[in-house]
Copies of this chain bind each other. A is one copy, B any other.
Amino acid sequence: MKQSMSKMGLAKTEIFTDQQNRISLYAKVFGHPARVAILQHLFKINTCVCGDLVNVIKLAQPTISQHLKELKLLGLIKGNVEGTRVCYCIHQENWTSMKEIMFQFLNQDRTNKEGCF
């Protein structure tokens, strides 16, 4: 039987739990070194930076802007317009709730420590 031929190349999120999908969504946004670097820089330079990220990270301005958009979409950062500049910073509350979800996943442990070999 043929596949539905409409959603190829797309993750079948409907067959997974909300928790599994949430974990993978957070993980996915961390799945690019530029976004990791952006977040690390925002943690380091607490006071919100923006155009600076383009200087710190050697990627073109539209590329940085796009990564920032994805981080904002997931709620991990906030952006504040200040004149012609936009000042970004970590969204502390959302970062904390994200951590809880990820920790629960990463801290899983096997009840029986016997491996398969």
Binding site for B on A (CB under 8 A): 11-13, 15-17, 20-21, 23-25, 27-37, 39-40, 43, 46-48, 57-59, 78, 80, 87-90, 92, 98-99, 102-103, 105-117
Q: Which residue of B lies closest to A117 (CB)?
A: B80
A20 proximity list for chain B (CB < 8 A): 33, 36-37, 40
Q: List 8 A–B pairs whose Cβ atoms lie within 8 Å, in order of A's numbering.
A: A15-B59, A17-B37, A24-B30, A24-B33, A30-B31, A36-B105, A43-B110, A98-B106
Q: Which residue of B lies closest to A112 (CB)?
A: B46
What residues of chain B lie closer than 8 Å to A47, measured between beta carbons?
112, 114, 116
Alpha-carbon separation in the docked complex, A29 to B105 (Å):
13
Contact B43 A109 (CB under 8 A): yes
In the bound complex, residues from chain B placing their C-beta under 8 Å from that of A98 are 106
**Closest residue on chain B to residue A107 by CB atoms:** B99
Say whether A116 contacts B24, CB under 8 Å.
no
Across the two chains, which residue of chain B brings its CB closest to A49? Answer: B116
**A33 lies within 8 A of B16 (CB):** yes
4 closest pairs, A vs B, by CB?
A48-B116, A28-B31, A27-B30, A16-B33
